Amino acid sequence: MTQVAAIGTYLPPWTSGGRRVRGPDEDALTMAVAAGRAADPGAHSRRVILVSRDFPLLEGGNAAVLLAGLSLSGDTPVAEVLGGAPAVLDQLLAAGPDTLVIAADDNVGFAGAAAVLTGGGGPTLTAVDRQTRSLPLVARTNGGSRHAYADPRLQREVGVRDTLALLRLDDDKAVVAMVGAKPDLLAAQLNTSSTVTEVTSSASALIRVLAAVLETNVSGLVVAVEQATVGVVDVATSETPARITRDEADPRELPKTKIAEGIGIPISLPAYARAFEPKIRWEAAIFDERPGIDGAPQFPPRARVDEAGVLAGDYRLEPLPRTGTVYTHTTIRIPVPDLPSPYSIAVVALDDSPVRVLLKVTGVPAGEAAIGQAGSVVLRRIATRTGIPDYGYAFWPGRTQDGIAG
């Protein structure tokens, strides 16, 4: 049995062709961080599980960026699990207290992320049944090739209906949510009159429908379907409700951009290693005051020289504010390699801090930011250099710290 303390969801602010799509500076990892911070803003998690089929890196590691973006220490255990909605159910049921389970999707079917923080005496999840069968109508190899066997009837009748028929479900329990299929495929005697349904099978969809169920304070069965695999849990409400935070700005049409041909700036891994911790953890250096050195935060962290000419390299790191206002800005409209253009950059005066930082603008069309406009600092994939995602922070004008666009 797992207790749900909090749920956080994230949807990118863009649409294309009538569906949500990520921005050019987002990926499964940046969306996972957004959802994780919504669920666990105080960084109390003692373990993190990321479930996805769209990891930015299969080798080289996503965990360090994930932990830094969540403001969790580097000794926090991280598991990267390949899977969809049934896999998310498995991880939730196996999670101990203070575990952050994040599901992220970045594919043609869906873009978004959602997270559950366990513990806290909230609503409970109890395993009911699970069935795993093989019907690979959609298959993707480790080389990246994807095969789709287009037969909706086979998927519906053999992949879903036949698998659902194997489940041992209590007829007295209402089906309150279902992901990956329509509830009319369930046995006729089951109560599906108020089922929250997400037909798209995605990892994050499972947590989104769970949030919808908990918001209505109802108990019952949640069914997760992916091809011919099905998992079922029983959700029970509690006197202590789960805290639910939705980072879901109203979507806008994704602006058109252009990337110039040519070779971009190559990555320097020694420079990457030196800058990683303060850049991704968003921390400034604080020195003990002495003649020639004040206590003002220094970002990026660097050594300083006092009045006696002595090099001071001892400092402590403190988190920087994640909100601020635009001090000045400009827009670059000439296409360059590696960067979708046009794009805006801004000098941002951080709230309650003397620090001003130069950041790329995200979340709004280029040229829309205004001097004095408030917003939030968010993790983004700044560029991909020599095949390696280079993460950093960008400024989202009009977005408050809790993720609601104003």
385 vs 54, residue with greater confidence: 54
Q: Express each pLDDT in 192-216 by its tens digit.
A: 888 999 988 899 999 999 999 999 9
* pLDDT, position 401: 62
* pLDDT, position 142: 78
User: Would you say residue 406 has pLDDT above 60?
Assistant: no
Q: What is the dihedral of CA 182, 183, 187, 193, to 10 degrees?
A: -150
User: Would you say residue 341 has pLDDT above 70?
Assistant: yes
Whole-structure pTM value: 0.93
As a whole-number percent, the residues of the chain with pLDDT over 90 amount to 67
* pLDDT, position 84: 94
Spatial contact of 374 and 262, defined as CB atoms under 8 Å apart: no
Q: Express each pLDDT in 299-330 by its tens digit.
A: 988 889 999 999 988 899 899 999 999 999 99
The mean predicted confidence, pLDDT, of the chain is 92
pLDDT band at 374 (very low <50, low <70, confident <90, very high): very high
* pLDDT, position 405: 46
Tokens for 303, please give them: 């050594």
